[in-house]
Amino acid sequence: MWHLIKNKLLNGIDKYIPRTGNRPPNKRHAVQPFSNDTKQLINRKHRLWTRYMETRELTVFTEYKRVRNIVRSEARKINKYKQESIAKLTKTSPKHFWKYIKTKSNVSINVGELKSMDADGKDIWVTEDVDKAEMFAQFYTKILTVESDDGPMIEMQSEAACEEIVVSYGPEKVEKNKS
């Protein structure tokens, strides 16, 4: 009797409950730059630091410094290897190169100097951010209007006509590495 119930239950589980596992990894966690040895060294470094903060022993601190230097050199090796691999792929896959450059550059785009006229009609250059903001505010208040809530009445059409749709196909071969 128990075998019948067990078989029905297992068949129902196989039929109606989706299986999990072997999913593609999350993109953020897909690339693990550190090996397991390096991760263990990092954990050891953290543990040594907490032990030193608790005890303030000089031997623990010297061991911490030794492990810290090893972790730093390993991280630098990994970074160097990554940069070399990106440099090798530059000709064949420029997207990787420019993606890496974008992560390393810290560019902020500001509004440059603005040319304006003063009350006498002379050309002046506006350089201060507050003055630029006031100049833009004056400009946009002149060209933008405030509309009332009573907009034009639009009649809805019940029949929608659709013109002939033409579908055209793009190039047969598309290069994946091009932007």
Strands (DSSP E) contained in the chain are 114-117, 123-126
Stated pTM of the model? 0.45
Q: Which of 3-12, 21-30, 108-117 is predicted with the least confidence, judged by mean pLDDT?
A: 21-30
The pLDDT of residue 81 is: 92
Residue owning tokens 């420029």: 94
List beta partners, residue 116: 124
* pLDDT tens-digit readout, 118-160: 888 888 888 888 888 888 888 888 887 766 666 666 666 666 6
Neighbours of 93 (CB within 10 A): 15
Cα-to-chain-centroid distance, residue 25: 17
Report the alpha-carbon distance of residue 49 to residue 165 in Å, rounded.
Answer: 69
Is a pLDDT exceeding 70 seen at residue 103? Answer: yes
Residue owning tokens 């263990």: 40
Is a pLDDT exceeding 80 seen at residue 105? Answer: yes
* pLDDT tens-digit readout, 8-62: 889 988 888 887 766 666 665 555 678 889 999 999 999 999 999 999 999 999 9
